[in-house]
Amino acid sequence: MKFQNNSTSTFFLLKFFVFSCISVSTFLANASSMEGPAFDFTLKSRSGENVRLAELRGQVILINFWASWCAPCRKELPKLEDLHQKYKDLGVTILGINIDENPELSKKILKDVTVTFPVLFDTDSSVSGQYEIAAMPSTFLVDKHGNFRFRHNGYLDGYEHKYDKQIKKLLRE
């Protein structure tokens, strides 16, 4: 069977891909409470420094796993930057963990989407595997004692409001 490369075929393939991503994101987008210590890790940041989760104990930490190919991730990044600006001086750290094998892919996205919170690279999927990432993006909130508290699979408009409420709750504890 010969594949014909025409604009109609390309349009339908693109439409199918986008619909699939949105459907999976919508289906998986949920929040759940979690318990137990967050898995420690050390990853290289885009500034070249190593960041270790355990060294951030005493702060509320939002960990967001994302990928350059993920449209909901790109949509969520500016919202995470807003939260970073709001809470950075109040004991909250946001970590963006990019899972692309090639960090250059994420750096291209970050030229268009400005974020000032630390972006870390999990190029071998060791941390995302440990965190059992099944949806993109995936977001975890960790309390001041280093314990998992909330997990969000996927992203839908408005999730940043949930993160905001959960951050406030964890700051009050």
> What would the two tokens of residue 100 be?
């692309």
Q: What mean pLDDT do residues 45-51 have?
A: 95
State how far the alpha carbon of 76 is from the alpha carbons of 37, 40, 159, in Å.
26, 24, 9
Does 51 map to a domain?
A: yes
Mean pLDDT of 27-36: 57
- Dihedral, CA atoms, 127, 62, 137, 84, nearest 10 degrees? -130
Domain CATH number, residue 166: 3.40.30.10
Two tokens, residue 149: 């508290």
Give the chain's mean pLDDT.
85
Burial class (CB in 10 A: 0-12, 13-18, 19+), 110: middle
Query: Percent helix, strand, coil in the chain (nearest 5)?
Result: 40, 25, 35
Q: Residue 93: is its pLDDT beyond 60?
A: yes
120 touches 43 (CB < 8 A): yes
The pLDDT confidence band at residue 74, using thresholds 50, 70 and 90, is very high
The answer as to whether 2 is a domain residue is no
Q: How confident is the model at residue 35 (pLDDT cuts 50, 70, 90)?
A: confident
Number of domains in the chain: 1
Domain assignment present for residue 1? The answer is no
Q: Distance between CA atoms of 150 and 62, rounded to whole angstroms? A: 9
What is the dihedral sign for C-alpha 22, 19, 75, 55?
Answer: positive
Mean of pLDDT values over 69-98: 97
Going by pLDDT thresholds of 50, 70 and 90, the confidence category of residue 33 is low
70 pLDDT more than 50:
yes
CB 145 within 8 A of CB 21: no
Percentage of the chain lying above the pLDDT 90 cut? 78
- Residue-range definition of the domain harbouring residue 127: 7-172
